[in-house]
Amino acid sequence: MNLPSCIQLLEAKPGYPVLHVQHRNATGTIALHGAHVMEWMPAHSDPVLYMSPQAVIEKGKPIRGGIPVCWPWFGPHADSSKPAHGFVRVMMWEFDRVRETPAGVDVVLRLADSPETRALWPFAFEARLHISMGLELEVGLEMTNTDTKPWTASGALHSYFSVGDVRQITIHGLHGTQYVESRLSPDKRPQDGPLVIDQEVDRLYASDAAVIVDDPVMQRELRIEKAGSLSTVVWNPWIEKSTRLSDLPDDAYPDFVCVETVNAGDDTVTLEPGETHLLFTRLCVRSLKELPMPDPSLSGSGMFA
């Protein structure tokens, strides 16, 4: 694969290839394992995605952070011998297309069914992950039914966002939507106003709306737009669950929130042979830092005096 000069193919560890992007509009890292966007930092911004300092970088293991691609099922499988959140996030994808544009880089990775996948999920498919990385980040999971029979899948772009303190953020865009709190009963509840995080939150919202995370500590807003999705998950493990996750420091729960673009619950996807579905998210960050006022003494007698 001929790579543009702004992309380097490195090895995070032997046999674990990653693409390192250094474009004027953004830097980032994409692992071929799981087609996993691990890092994204738009120019003039702090890193947007959270990566656990204890993340496991090992074939066959999910990465705690970045944007895990969860498919063809979301959450645990009824057969506990099968991996949670599907198998594509723990398999090696292959290059499909890579190009540099004035706005950033476009990377497309591909994964199709194999004897290994069919042993876990007995259907033929072709998946492509489209990544456009620049001042914004667009990620699209395109799934095609290449089988001779219909199949139904669920999935998610399970994005981890860095925040200054999860206890101080406010999440807007979900007011008035119904949600199920997975830790409690399956009853649906209405979201009343913005969401604040003051306990473990693991909620599946029936929503096709964009979500805004207002982060007063980092003085920025994260905007999570989406298409091809009628469900959004908001998750933070809080204190107790964090101690049960070996790939997350016990004291790391304040450092991130997951806002996930999902097809799950009542929003699973059934495709006839030959049909395609795109699960898409666009991430934007807006700084709220006060720009320094121009020093009037420097205005001089220029044309704008």
Residue 75 sits in the site that holds ligand TA6 (CB under 6 A):
yes
At 101, which amino acid appears?
T
Residue 82 sits in the site that holds ligand TA6 (CB under 6 A):
no
Site for ligand TA6 in 208-247 (CB under 6 A): 233, 235
User: Exposure of 98 by Cβ count < 10 A (0-12 exposed, 13-18 middle, 19+ buried)?
Assistant: buried
Nearest residue to the partner ligand TA6, using Cβ: 235
- Residues near 83 by beta carbon (within 8 Å), at least 6 away in sequence: 62, 77, 89, 90, 120
Task: Return d(Cα 51, Cα 62) in angstroms, integer.
Answer: 12
Asked whether the beta carbons of 45 and 31 are under 8 A apart, the reply is no
Using CB under 6 A, pick the residue from 3, 6, 12, 84 that binds ligand TA6: 84
Residue 57 sits in the site that holds ligand TA6 (CB under 6 A):
no
Task: Return d(Cα 81, Cα 163) in angstroms, integer.
Answer: 34
Would you put residue 209 in left (φ > 0), alpha (ψ -120 to 50) or beta?
beta
Using CB under 6 A, pick the residue from 113, 136, 202, 215 that binds ligand TA6: 202
Q: Report phi then psi at 116, rounded to 5.
A: -65, -45
**82 vs 172, which CB is nearer to ligand TA6?**
82
Site string for ligand TA6, 240-279 (x = CB under 6 A): ------------------x-x-------------------
Residue 85 sits in the site that holds ligand TA6 (CB under 6 A):
yes
Site size with ligand TA6, rule: CB under 6 A: 11
Site for ligand TA6 in 100-159 (CB under 6 A): 158
Asked whether the beta carbons of 117 and 190 are under 8 A apart, the reply is no
Site string for ligand TA6, 157-186 (x = CB under 6 A): -x-----------------------x----
Q: How far is the CB of 53 from ligand TA6 (least distance, A)?
A: 16
User: Exposure of 167 by Cβ count < 10 A (0-12 exposed, 13-18 middle, 19+ buried)?
Assistant: middle
Q: Which of 281, 279, 277, 280 is nearest to 152 (CA)?
A: 277
Residue 50 sits in the site that holds ligand TA6 (CB under 6 A):
no
**Can you give the binding site for ligand TA6, defined by CB under 6 A?**
62, 75, 84-85, 158, 182, 202, 233, 235, 258, 260
